[in-house]
Amino acid sequence: MHKYFLALFLLLLVAPSTFAQRADPRDPKNEQQGIDLIKAAIAARGGEAYLKFKTIFANGTYSPYDKGVSTVPKNFQNWIVYPDRDRTEFGKGKRKDRIIQVNSGNGGWIYDGDAETLKDQSPKQISDFLEGLEFDIDHVLRDGWQKEGVKVRFYGREEIRPGERADVVEIKLPNSS
Q: What residue spans define the domains of the chain? A: 4-48+145-172, 51-135
Q: Work out the pLDDT band at 1, boundaries 50, 70, 90.
A: very low
Q: What is the pLDDT of residues 103-157, one digit of tens each?
A: 999 999 999 998 989 999 999 999 999 999 988 999 999 988 988 999 999 999 9
The CA distance from 101 to 125, in Å, is: 10
Q: What is the pLDDT of residues 62-113, one digit of tens each?
A: 998 999 999 989 899 999 999 999 999 998 777 777 999 999 999 999 999 9
Q: pTM of the full predicted structure?
A: 0.73
Q: What is the DSSP letter of 3?
A: S
Query: How high is the pLDDT of residue 47?
Result: 96
The CA distance from 122 to 149, in Å, is: 27
